[in-house]
């Protein structure tokens, strides 16, 4: 049995996922007569009935172990794609009702990005727009939080649901996948029906920006409002839980160009010791260095994509001693040089 701690406030808060994602996978196994309820309940540490509760969340690593279990029992390496391509409107969760009752696809995408941390706290999602394309990029916060099956499911579900609810011929311009090309690569081409590149710095999906203004058929504004209220309540509780790391992130962002970032100086501004700073960040599933790296990477991507600053200025603003050090870090983050990335986003 799991050990119960007398003081829950000292337990590090691992990134979590909404239990409805696990519930969908459980249902997929059940419909194929491959669900071993005892094994799954032992793996997730909960009765299966608990997964239906809208407030229930699971540690991300537990959810990823469930994916590996599902692949093992089905013998299907492409289970993520196959589970994701199943569209069942009667089993659409709270998030799905919010997204597909929006006025336009653009509104739905904005809500998807805004609410993504409710779905999965271990993966960040951002939206970029060029003159012609809208690009969604999923990036695991740490390498250990990247799950091939879950990312496959995400790609297949986004595309399959958009084609079901919006237009069956909705075109995807391209997809980039962070993991190496698997033996089942032809399944991506069958389901996504677009050019695909594997082994990329992050997983991304691009579609024509003109789709953003497309109305969503059969939307129900009353359902949308009711579901949105419920989702916003869940989001508010989650954001309260992550309050401290967001505060530290803002301090890091403000100080990045003006002085050297170190834990001691930030701890002093927060009126605490460095050890307390580390401990409180750990409770929210973060380390100080990871937070600095995330801020630096996010700023780098924004600055380089625009033409407001020269590359040497960006290196200075992000606290690098020289352009070559910045260029090496940027290539590690994206797989491209800053100049290549800027050229692609102009």
pLDDT tens-digit map of 10-24: 333 568 898 888 999
Does 3 fall in a domain?
Answer: no
For residues 40 and 60, state if they share a domain. yes
Instruction: Give the model's pLDDT for residue 77.
Output: 97
Does 171 fall in a domain?
Answer: yes
Q: What is the pLDDT of residues 263-293, one digit of tens each?
A: 888 888 888 999 999 988 877 767 888 888 8
For residues 210 and 293, state if they share a domain. no
Look up the domain containing 306 and give its range: 242-345
For residues 103 and 49, state if they share a domain. yes
Q: From CA 48, how far away is CA 12, in angstroms rounded?
A: 24
For residues 275 and 144, state if they share a domain. no
- Select from 126, 122, 125 the least CA-distant residue to 142: 122
For residues 209 and 324, state if they share a domain. no
Instruction: Give the model's pLDDT for residue 9.
Output: 34
Q: From CA 262, how far away is CA 268, in angstroms rounded?
A: 10
For residues 192 and 288, state if they share a domain. no
> Which residue ranges in the chain fall short of pLDDT 50?
1-12
**How many domains is the chain built from?**
2
- Select from 222, 226, 241 the least CA-distant residue to 94: 226
For residues 149 and 231, state if they share a domain. yes
Q: Are 15 and 122 in contact (CB under 8 A)?
A: yes
Q: What is the CATH number of the domain that holds 65?
A: 3.90.1520.10
């Amino acid at each position: 049995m799991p050990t119960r701690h007398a003081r829950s406030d000292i337990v590090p808060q691992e990134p979590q996922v909404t239990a409805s994602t696990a519930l969908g996978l459980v249902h997929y196994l059940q419909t194929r007569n491959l669900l071993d309820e005892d094994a799954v309940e032992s793996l997730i540490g909960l009765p299966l009935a608990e997964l239906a509760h809208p407030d229930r969340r699971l540690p991300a690593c537990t959810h990823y172990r469930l994916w590996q279990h599902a692949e093992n029992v089905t013998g299907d390496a492409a289970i993520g794609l196959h589970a994701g391509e199943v569209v069942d409107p009667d089993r659409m969760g709270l998030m799905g009702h919010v997204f597909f009752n929006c006025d336009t696809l653009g509104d739905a995408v904005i809500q998807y990005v805004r609410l993504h941390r409710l779905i999965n706290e271990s993966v960040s999602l951002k939206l970029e727009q060029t003159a012609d394309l809208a690009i969604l990029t999923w990036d695991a916060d740490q390498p250990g939080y990247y799950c091939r099956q879950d990312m496959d499911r995400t790609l297949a579900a986004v595309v399959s649901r958009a084609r079901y609810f919006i237009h069956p011929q909705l075109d995807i311009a391209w997809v980039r996948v962070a993991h190496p090309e698997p033996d089942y690569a032809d399944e991506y081409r069958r389901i996504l029906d677009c050019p695909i590149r594997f082994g990329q710095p992050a997983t991304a999906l691009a579609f024509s920006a003109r789709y953003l203004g497309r109305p969503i058929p059969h939307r129900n504004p009353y359902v949308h409002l009711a579901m949105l209220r419920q989702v916003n309540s869940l989001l508010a509780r989650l954001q309260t839980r992550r309050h401290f790391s967001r505060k530290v992130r803002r301090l890091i962002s403000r100080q990045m160009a003006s002085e050297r970032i170190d834990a001691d100086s930030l701890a002093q501004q927060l009126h605490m010791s460095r050890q307390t700073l580390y401990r409180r960040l750990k409770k929210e599933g973060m380390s100080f260095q990871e937070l600095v790296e995330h801020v630096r990477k996010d700023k780098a991507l924004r600055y380089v994509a625009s033409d407001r600053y020269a590359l040497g200025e960006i290196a200075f603003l992000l606290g690098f001693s020289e352009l070559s050090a910045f260029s090496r870090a940027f290539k590690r983050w994206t797989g491209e040089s800053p100049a290549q990335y800027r050229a692609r986003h102009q």
